[in-house]
Structure 1
Amino acid sequence: MTATSAPTAATRTRDLFLIGNTTDELGGVTAWTHQMARLFTAAGHRVHVIGVYEHELKMPLPADPGYRITALYPSHPPSPRTLRGTARLNPAARRREARRIDGRRQASALLSSLFREAGPGAVAIVTQVWPMEWIRAADTAGVRLIGMSHESYAYTRACHRYRSVKRDYPHVDRWVALTQEDADDWIADGLNNVGAMPNALAHLPAVPSPRTENVVCSIGRLADQKGVDMLLDTWAEVAPDRPDWRLHLYGAGPDEAELKARCARLGLDRSVEWRGRTDDVQGALAGSSVFVQSSRGEGFPLALMEAMANAVPCAAFDCAPGVREIVRDGEDGLLAPVGDVDALADRLLRLTGNRRMRDTMGERARENVQRFSQEKVLGMWEDLFALLER
């Protein structure tokens, strides 16, 4: 069964809540959320996608996706402010904080009412740690909680979310990292309710890329985590030796203006094309012969799997266990030490300079990535749901 085949029916129909920062933000976690919502719905579950707020940089969604979608706030909720000194006597500041607290109370009450509607065996999958602030205040009686992290252990360890994981995830029924290596790292860090769950391959195209275009493709948000600045530095080393190749950058984000200025300073405007957001990832990959990922940190990147499913060989920074679990270095793609621009340039030069290597690795990538098919991953989720009922 391929990644696009219909999933097998669930062993038991459940109410499933997928709860994240937003319902519609353009990004990998939201894409995963709606992919799994469709998969769980097709398997017979009753699915409800819940976000803390509606995002301004929206992912296009169908008018009727086939499952419920709820945002607790219409826009980003205000952050808590500690009132110190004279601010404690400021009536306007006190009113703002009172409104924030009341809004949080109402949002948690809404969550409680949604949970109370659920039938026996209900499960809430918390896809990101921030929503736990509202879930902690909600009535979760009768609902099993699964926490998730869509980042590597190392990436979370280096940022503020680490404190949230350590505070909130020991209290969920189970929480899952994206790889066993990440799960082992969390266990070594003192958490004992951790398992692993890979992302599922969303789509296996009937016709893969012919790899006939001299195009290297990158797909991702134009933000620091995705390392597009390092990719431009890499391309500055590749472009002089590959004057007939082009780098296509798909994505939007807060760093767009700065990155375009950097591109101009490096003299790359004639070989780099900024393609913007795309809803046609398969079309972008079909017109490419190599995929490149230059992220500083990742979890289990969907774009990498999609490129491989399209038989497009990948060069990537080895920035997370999920990357090296997807790409078998030297067999179906090439990895470079994270942040090593010279090494990533070497991998791109090898792939762009050797048609036989591209074809061989591309075909292997398409075959190998199918070990993450939707059917297999859905089966893992069903096993986890059953385990939580024991």
Structure 2
Amino acid sequence: MKIILSVNCLSKGGAERVASLWANGFAKFHHDVYVALFDNQRPISYSISLNVKINYIVPTRSNKIARYISRLLMYRQYIKKVNPDVILAVQEPYGWWSKLAVFGLGKKIIYTDHNAYEWPKGNSEVNRFRHFEKYHLNRIFDAITVLTDVDRKLLLPKKKETYTMPNPVSFEVCDSVPAKSKVILAAGRLDVWQTKGFDLLIRAWGKLCAKFPDWELQILGDGSDCSKEFLTKLAINLDCGSQIKFLGFKNNIIDYYRSSEIFVLSSRFEGFGMVLTEAMSQGCACIACDWKGRQKEIIRSREEGLVCPSGDVKELTRALGFLLVDDEYRACIQRNALIRAREFEIDKIIERWELLFKDLNLYN
């Protein structure tokens, strides 16, 4: 089957990383895979199979309106040339670009959404149009994939062809738990520290660090000097600054997962949390702050990890303290995390795509 993946780029970014994994996975399953990229300024950051064909839809017009029209026409010509059985549009606005480009061509489009269908109250990104777009306008696509069953239940009354498609794990799952150091790890962009809940994690660690002087909290992720300064001052004020390191962006994040005993997803709001399955794949004992049931779909029981309510410093402190104290329980969680992570391996996710394609009669 011929598949076009339509995505902005294959550079840094969660949705972009997922698109690269899908492309390689579909190629492994003997599909003809084409990737349409709309940004040629950012280099490809991920390893792409030689069987995946990449094309840039980038016009050279200087006038903004002319550039939009030219891009749409280029994309339409590309679709006509490839003649795909289906187009997977990754995130906004590529679903709409695809819908316009296939007008009259009879091509099916699956819109793949990588955000939750609920937002915290007061979130500045949320407005009436975005809500209307997600719950009403997006129904024009032949199918929609969402990250969790929670989101699927929200959308099903509006769109019957809604499917749960969790993100694949980015790394090969370890066969056994690697050697670990006394490190608590977190990861995410510092400039969105409020969303990522790094202030909550630092406050929780501030209540515990004196009892565990040989442990260290490490936070991976780039960000502005202003964000780093704020979080550093918070740590100093809580007397835990000497046991926290802000390490910036790391290309070898897998090494940090492998060497860390504990990983914490402290987000106030998170649609899925790829870092959570990544950490589990490398044998970390994980704690996840749950956003309305979404992270509970990854960590299903106390045998696989600990889950606490998002935004609750008291419960986060309790969960972290419990893992720090009980070595035997922590080791048990680490072993079970590897088993659970295998259910998110790319082959398992492509099998879910195959079932979706059959459900949409794409093989007929």
- With structure 2 as the length reference, what TM-score do the two structures score? 0.86
Moved more, 42-51 or 359-368: 42-51
Which residue of structure 2 lines up, in the alignment, with residue 230 of structure 1?
Answer: 200
Which residue of structure 1 lines up, in the alignment, with residue 111 of structure 2?
Answer: 147
What is the distance in 2 between the residues matched to 1:338 and 1:332? 18
**AA paired with 2:6?**
I
Which residue of structure 1 lines up, in the alignment, with residue 216 of structure 2?
Answer: 246
Which residue of structure 1 lines up, in the alignment, with residue 17 of structure 2?
Answer: 31
2:333 aligns to what SS in structure 1?
helix
Match of 2:227 among 248, 252, 258: 258
Q: Which digits, 9 at most, give the CA deviation of each residue in 1:280-329, with x for residues without a partner?
A: 23211111000011123223322211211222110111025431111124
Which residue of structure 1 lines up, in the alignment, with residue 86 of structure 2?
Answer: 123
What is the distance in 2 between the residues matched to 1:365 and 1:62? 25
Is 1:18 paired with 2:9? no
1:19 aligns to what SS in structure 2?
strand
Is 1:162 paired with 2:134? no
**AA paired with 2:211?**
D
Structure 1 pair 334/194, CA: closer, same or farther in 2 (3 Å)? same
Structure 1 pair 256/369, CA: closer, same or farther in 2 (3 Å)? farther
Which residue of structure 2 lines up, in the alignment, with residue 82 of structure 1?
Answer: none
**AA paired with 1:281?**
I
What is the distance in 1 between the residues matched to 2:41 and 2:221? 17
1:311 aligns to what SS in structure 2?
coil
What is the distance in 1 between the residues matched to 2:274 and 2:324? 23
Is 1:172 paired with 2:141? yes
What is the distance in 2 between the residues matched to 1:309 and 1:265? 31
What is the distance in 2 between the residues matched to 1:298 and 1:256? 24
Is 1:334 paired with 2:306? yes
Please tell me whether the aligned partners of residues 88 and 111 of structure 2 are also in contact (alpha carbons under 8 angstroms). Answer: yes
**AA paired with 2:164?**
A
Please tell me whether the aligned partners of residues 37 and 56 of structure 2 are also in contact (alpha carbons under 8 angstroms). Answer: yes
Match of 1:218 among 186, 189, 197: 186
Structure 1 pair 330/316, CA: closer, same or farther in 2 (3 Å)? same
**AA paired with 1:240?**
A
Deviation at 1:123, TM superposition (A): 1.2
What percent identity do the matched residue pairs reach? 23
Deviation at 1:206, TM superposition (A): 3.9
Deviation at 1:55, TM superposition (A): 6.3
Structure 1 pair 152/256, CA: closer, same or farther in 2 (3 Å)? farther
Is 1:272 paired with 2:272? no
Deviation at 1:178, TM superposition (A): 1.6
Deviation at 1:177, TM superposition (A): 1.3
Deviation at 1:339, TM superposition (A): 0.9
Structure 2 alignment gaps of length 5 or more: none
Structure 1 pair 192/387, CA: closer, same or farther in 2 (3 Å)? closer
Structure 1 pair 65/317, CA: closer, same or farther in 2 (3 Å)? farther
Deviation at 1:198, TM superposition (A): 2.0
Structure 1 alignment gaps of length 5 or more: 1-13, 78-95
Q: Which digits, 9 at most, give the CA deviation of each residue in 1:24-47, with x for residues without a partner?
A: 342211111111111111222222
Please tell me whether the aligned partners of residues 315 and 335 of structure 1 are also in contact (alpha carbons under 8 angstroms). Answer: yes
Is 1:204 paired with 2:178? no
Match of 1:67 among 41, 52, 77: 52
Q: 1:46-61 alignment to 2 at 5 Å?
A: 46-54=32-40, 60-61=45-46
Is 1:100 paired with 2:70? no
Moved more, 216-225 or 204-213: 204-213
Moved more, 198-207 or 379-388: 198-207
Please tell me whether the aligned partners of residues 59 and 70 of structure 2 are also in contact (alpha carbons under 8 angstroms). Answer: no
Please tell me whether the aligned partners of residues 209 and 289 of structure 1 are also in contact (alpha carbons under 8 angstroms). Answer: no
Deviation at 1:104, TM superposition (A): 1.1
- With structure 1 as the length reference, what TM-score do the two structures score? 0.81
What is the distance in 2 between the residues matched to 1:124 and 1:63? 19
1:328 aligns to what SS in structure 2?
coil
2:118 aligns to what SS in structure 1?
helix
RMSD: 2.7
Structure 1 pair 209/222, CA: closer, same or farther in 2 (3 Å)? farther
Deviation at 1:370, TM superposition (A): 2.0
Q: Which digits, 9 at most, give the CA deviation of each residue in 1:167-189, with x for residues without a partner?
A: 5311111111122221111124x
Deviation at 1:263, TM superposition (A): 1.8
Structure 1 pair 320/23, CA: closer, same or farther in 2 (3 Å)? farther
Please tell me whether the aligned partners of residues 16 and 122 of structure 1 are also in contact (alpha carbons under 8 angstroms). Answer: yes
1:252 aligns to what SS in structure 2?
coil
1:31 aligns to what SS in structure 2?
helix
Please tell me whether the aligned partners of residues 50 and 70 of structure 1 are also in contact (alpha carbons under 8 angstroms). Answer: yes
Which residue of structure 2 lines up, in the alignment, with residue 345 of structure 1?
Answer: 317
Which residue of structure 2 lines up, in the alignment, with residue 81 of structure 1?
Answer: none
